[in-house]
Amino acid sequence: MTEGKRLVANIYYEKDADRSVIANRKVAIIGYGSQGHAHALNLKDSGIDVRIGLREGSSSREKATAAGLKVASIAEASAEADLIMILAPDTEQKAIYERDIAPGLDDGDALFFAHGFNIRFGRIVPPAGVDVVMVAPKGPGHLVRRTYEEGGGVPCLLAVEQDATGKAKQLGLAYADAIGGARAGVIETTFTEECETDLFGEQVVLCGGTTALVQAGFQTLVDAGYQPEIAYFECLHELKLIVDLMYEQGISGMRYSISDTAEYGDLTRGPRVINDAVKAEMRVILEEIRSGKFAEEWIAESEAGRPNFLALEAAGKEAQIEKVGEQLRAMMPWISAGKTRVQDASGGQG
């Protein structure tokens, strides 16, 4: 993709999708995790012939069967289907593809993904006669399922990497429509754009940047002698209020809704926190993503048994902010009232 080039997005809706394109396809969903259970159940409710491919001994088998879905081994489900959506973890997809999926692929089949990682970094190279398409809902699986049941949907990204049949885009639109995405809008992109921006957003803003900022703010107040409970409310709990305002009304709408004092602090102090040094580090992280350095690091970490990942994860769970938050959330049962844990709605990743 040309650096700095601005693309005007193509956005499609239900009227643009021809459901008949997928009506006679046999679909295999590989994995029954957060996304897998949502895709499979939405497809089933849309009248699509769908089955779940799970590894031997998967803890998800019972849940998928109880939901009325056909369940088979990954190899069996893939061989039977002519549209295969791979929803296993990024680091496991290459082995699953080579062992269980590739041997059963025929010309005219379609290989679908919900994230561009394995195609973008050359981990999976499908044969020339197979359509390669991405349909990526921009929301967690439980939301994909819930909004579908409510008559709505979660916006999806659509990308075609390989159009062997000449109908790959139409098939992708039909799939997005069948899981509810066309109700909200399907935005056309590329595997490269989706993968690079998704990794960047996760690392710099949505997950890495946000958690590091919250933890640093909390620790700054606690180290200065303020009560941890007060620091938790100011740096974590109230974040949802601000994010919800931005989600609903944009940054300007959020600023209109808060006090003048808060807005002045936002406008004058925010740039001191996210300063030129932080922005420079963002560019370094983006280059690590685009060059493949991050992908290589993550794959190597996984192949080594994830020692650093597990150590960092464990340390995070033991942080003071987690202990304080657990106690305070127990005082506010309305936060989780009426909500189904994603762990209860779906199984693991395969």
Active-site pick, 37, 115, 142, 237: 115
- Is 237 marked active-site? no
Sign of CA dihedral 46, 21, 182, 240: positive
As a whole number of angstroms, the distance between CA 228 and CA 217 comes to 11
Tokens coding 68: 């009325």
81 closest CA partner among 93, 73, 90, 91: 73
Place of tokens 């990204």: 157
Tokens coding 20: 């008949």
Burial 230-259 (b: 16+ CB within 10 A, else e): ebbeebbeeeeebeebeeeeeeeebbebee
Strand-pair category, 70-73 with 83-86: unpaired
219 closest CA partner among 240, 242, 236, 206: 236
Beta bridge partners of 162: 132
**Catalytically active residues, by annotation:** 115
